[in-house]
Chain A
């Protein structure tokens, strides 16, 4: 990754955050916290990792991305808009009646969305099915999925983890956004998923833990993912929920609450200042 590429990724992550704030504010609802914690990941996926083409959104060998933590749709939508799958202005129609930008990802209506998600635990299973089918079809695509650290409390996630290992899905890469907070509070207080890495490894996965806001670390992890043969790969990202908006950081209350007018202005001030700083770098 060149310095310029890294700068581009940081700029795009910041723009994803702006999209998250603008869309959830316009919707008066939605999930900013976990969208902000995964902003670097969304930027990495759509501007570095994924073989996707907005002009040919359904090409057969495109890499698939399944947002298993579907409530972080605002982050995904911002990245898709930035990448050119649909107009940026449409983000402000999020969750509105008549908008194609549903509260949770809808593969039938949203360009670039490969699987409808929202009910936690199902996305990773669907990703397993995709990876399995890709192998049968000799499709060179890779399949990526993003889970929440609260989401992995769902039993189905571990059914899928078993399945992916059993069928040696080395074309599958699961990312867990370990921002440490869920609706009711810290994950270890609500129902501890820890130790996450040990669990993944016990289920037969190759797994690493990285700083999810550090593009160098993400680059290393995603490069490693492609070298592993015969087993699936997981990346546990240590992140800060609400990252990038000072008053949202590490606050469980911002899991599923939209900023009001004043909060939106404050957040956009911070993000635009950061964007200007990054662009001047």
Chain B
């Protein structure tokens, strides 16, 4: 994919905010001294009167966003995933989740691919934390085009939404002119019958690559982009379980509490099916270049193909 255009999903977030801001005057955007990184500055440059830097105070930011939403605004609140979902968890739960207010959390720099900053900034728990809040929609786009469409869908959705974006540029494989996004709907990227690989975030591109590697080795793998972790697209998972018989999940998240567990929970109750989860094991990350870390933790096409092939043949 050397010639494929690469853009970080957080950039799609910033562009979407800027486009939405031009159409809807009820959008306000809050940030916590990371506007340049989360890309909300793209909105702030055009709509400075509706962009509010809260300083390094994520708890206040989340509850203030809730207050603004209670007045009929659609409030976007952004920080790194570690601080949006982690530090401000309780404010998100009580002031946004419990109230059901129209706050959209745009969390950037999720996952191990934050890279050099190391473990304190590599959030591998946000899906787990946010999934546990009743009514919270939890999503992670595969590329910048999907990110942009997701943000617009989040604006239209009534109620709290958590979106995780990445720091690193990732291949863009959706066509912005034709792509449509629906919250809660998975997307089959490649048909297959021997095994299904369900991925989200930057691992979708890796899973698609793995699908090609597997095809070369005679394994027919179905690749599913599961951008919405909650509510989970049960239909697409159950169909994959029925038609492929085995499922591999891939996420840039702890194997505890994320997409893998969501898929396992569904299958264990509705259609018991063998599953292998690819994610970070129950350990903290560490510093290093994003690509090296992803490879080290097995979050790459080569490892996905290896795990899936052994699983399919086992």
Q: B52 an interface residue at 8 Å Cβ cutoff?
A: yes
* Interface of chain A: mostly helix, strand, loop or mixed: helix
**Between-chain CB contacts (< 8 Å), 20 pairs:** A66-B67, A115-B70, A115-B99, A116-B94, A122-B94, A125-B64, A126-B66, A126-B67, A131-B67, A133-B70, A133-B72, A136-B28, A137-B72, A156-B59, A156-B91, A159-B55, A159-B57, A159-B59, A162-B55, A163-B64
CB closest chain-B residue, reference A139: B71
A156 touching B28, Cβ below 8 Å: no
Q: Give residues 128-153 of A contacting B (CB, 8 Å).
A: 128-134, 136-137, 139
Question: Which A residues lie at the B interface, using CB under 8 A?
Answer: 60, 64, 66, 106-108, 114-116, 118-119, 121-123, 125-134, 136-137, 139, 155-156, 159-160, 162-163, 166-167
Residues of A within 8 A of B68 (CB): 129-130, 132-133
Selected from A130, A136, A167, the residue in CB contact (under 8 A) with B70 is: A130
A171 CB to nearest chain B CB (Å): 12
**B94 A163 Cβ-Cβ under 8 A:** no
**Residues B63 and A130 in contact, CB atoms below 8 Å apart:** no
Which of chain A's residues have a CB closer than 8 A to the CB of B98?
Answer: 106, 116
In the complex, the answer to whether A156 meets B99 with C-beta atoms within 8 Å is no
Which B residue's beta carbon lies closest to that of A126? B67
Number of A-B contacts (CB under 8 A): 109
Q: In the complex, which residues 73-102 of chain B have their Cβ closer than 8 Å to any Cβ of chain A?
A: 73, 75, 90-91, 94-95, 98-100
Name the residue of chain B whose CB is nearest to the CB of A167: B52
Residue among B54, B70, B71, B98 facing the most chain A CB atoms (10 A cut-off): B71
Partner of B60, one of A125, A131, A134: A125
Which of B's residues lie within 8 Å of A, judged by CB? Answer: 28, 49-50, 52, 54-55, 57, 59-73, 75, 90-91, 94-95, 98-100
- CA–CA, A162 and B55, complex, Å: 9
Q: For residue B50, which residues in chain A have a CB less than 8 angstroms away from its CB?
A: 136
Residues on A with beta carbons closer than 8 Å to the beta carbon of B52: 132, 167
How far in angstroms is the closest Cβ of chain A from B79? 13
Contact B99 A108 (CB under 8 A): yes
For the complex, would chain B's binding face be called helix, strand, loop or mixed by DSSP majority?
helix
Asked whether, in the complex, the Cβ of A133 is within 8 Å of the Cβ of B73, the reply is: yes
From the candidates A60, A129, A155, name the one contacting B64 in the complex (CB within 8 A): A129
Which of the residues B60, B91, B100 comes within 8 Å of A163, measured between beta carbons?
A: B60
**CB nearest to B57 among chain A residues:** A159
Partner of A107, one of B54, B71, B72, B99: B99
* Chain A neighbourhood of B62, CB < 8 A: 125
| Chain B positions within 8 Å of A160 at CB level | 60, 63-64
Task: Check A163–B28 contact: CB distance below 8 A.
Answer: no
Q: Which of B54, B55, B71 contacts A133 (CB 8 A)?
A: B71
**Nearest A-chain residue to B67, judged by Cβ:** A129
A124 vs chain B, min Cβ distance (A)? 8
Contact (Cβ within 8 A) A129 B99: no
Are A133's CB and B28's CB within 8 A?
yes
Given A115-B99, A116-B98, A136-B50, A126:B71 Cβ within 8 A: no
Which residues of chain B come closer than 8 Å to A134, judged between CB atoms? Answer: 71
Task: Report if A128-B67 is in contact (Cβ < 8 Å); known contacts: A136-B73, A167-B52.
Answer: yes
Beta-carbon contact of A159 and B60 below 8 Å = yes
Question: Which of B61, B62, B67, B98 has the most A CB atoms < 10 Å from its CB?
Answer: B67
- Tell me which of B64, B70, B73, B98 has the highest count of chain A C-beta atoms within 10 A of its own C-beta: B64
Closest B residue to A143 by CB, please name it.
B67
Q: Tell me how far the C-beta of B99 lies from the nearest C-beta in chain A, rounded to whole angstroms.
A: 5
B70 neighbours in A (Cβ, 8 Å):
64, 107, 114-115, 126, 129-130, 133
Q: Are B54 and A108 in contact (CB under 8 A)?
A: no
The answer to whether A116 and B99 touch (CB under 8 A), given A121-B59, A162-B55, is yes
